[in-house]
């Protein structure tokens, strides 16, 4: 990460504590998930931060976003609060996938945090954003349960174990494939989005560069929109 500006010592310069999180040991070892997070934070620091700035510390957890008991996150928060620095993360879900935890951070008057992919969002907007993400996940879970209930009603004589597991496995496989596809494009479309480019422009850049969907087809704005939505919540 380019943090050369952090070497300057000025009395009123902006100070940051950086926090990163990947969900699996494999991501941590490969550096792929971390590279994307560091790239977005670099973009924020160079384009949206006050200059010069100082990086006081970097902390990384290899742990699920559903688990809020993370040692490195606790250290990052404590350092940010004690030094009156800004806690900086790539996106909201790096902090937590639970809106209640995000709300507790927002309500903490001693903590200031910013999200690199949402450079102009204030705490209220981040709260709404995290709530909408959780609502979407709850809706998907409810829809899955409803589908399984309907299947059981239509097939009363069949065992539920295998079909349920099969449906859940298929749903997970489809989502994992979509997320993998989104991650493949992250390095291209996120910088374009942050630069204020429209879905149509991003679509044209992908197609003109010879980049295709996982099915080998050209991109359409709706596909770009869905990809951006996946990157926001994964």
Render pLDDT for 112-139 as a digit per residue (tens, 0 to 9): 999 998 898 887 888 787 777 666 666 6
Higher pLDDT, 89 or 155: 89
DSSP β-bridge partners for residue 15: 54
pLDDT at residue number 160: 55
| C-alpha gyration radius of the chain | 20
| Alpha-carbon separation of residue 217 from 75, 192, 209 (angstroms) | 46, 21, 13
User: How high does pLDDT run on average in the chain?
Assistant: 80
The beta strand positions in 23-93, using DSSP E, are: 53-62, 86-89
pLDDT at residue number 56: 96
Rounded Cα distance between 179 and 183, Å, is: 6
- Look at residue 7 and give its three-state secondary structure: helix
Selection from 21-25, 111-115, 158-162 with the highest mean pLDDT: 111-115
| Alpha-carbon separation of residue 88 from 59, 109, 136, 152 (angstroms) | 11, 16, 25, 47
Does residue 11 surpass a pLDDT of 70? no
């Amino acid at each position: 990460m380019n943090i050369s500006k952090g070497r300057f010592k000025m009395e009123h310069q902006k100070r940051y504590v950086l926090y990163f999180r990947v969900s699996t040991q494999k991501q941590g070892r490969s550096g792929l998930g971390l590279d994307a997070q560091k790239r977005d934070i670099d973009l924020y620091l160079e384009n949206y931060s006050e200059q010069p700035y100082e990086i006081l510390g970097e902390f990384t957890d290899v742990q699920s976003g559903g688990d809020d008991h993370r040692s490195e996150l606790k250290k990052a928060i404590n350092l940010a609060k004690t030094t009156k620095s800004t806690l900086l993360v790539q996106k909201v879900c790096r902090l937590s996938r639970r809106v209640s935890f995000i709300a507790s951070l927002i309500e903490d008057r001693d903590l200031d945090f910013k999200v690199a992919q949402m450079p102009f969002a204030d705490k209220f907007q981040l709260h709404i954003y995290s709530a909408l993400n959780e609502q979407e996940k709850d809706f998907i879970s409810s829809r899955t349960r409803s589908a399984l209930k309907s299947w059981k009603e239509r097939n009363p004589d069949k065992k539920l174990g295998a079909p349920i597991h099969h449906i859940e496995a298929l749903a997970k496989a489809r989502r994992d494939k979509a997320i993998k596809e989104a991650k493949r494009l992250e390095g291209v479309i996120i910088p374009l989005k942050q630069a204020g480019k429209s879905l149509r422009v991003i679509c044209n850049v992908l197609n003109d560069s010879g980049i295709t969907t996982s099915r080998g087809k050209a991109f359409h704005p709706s596909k770009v929109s869905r990809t951006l939505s996946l990157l926001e919540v994964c």
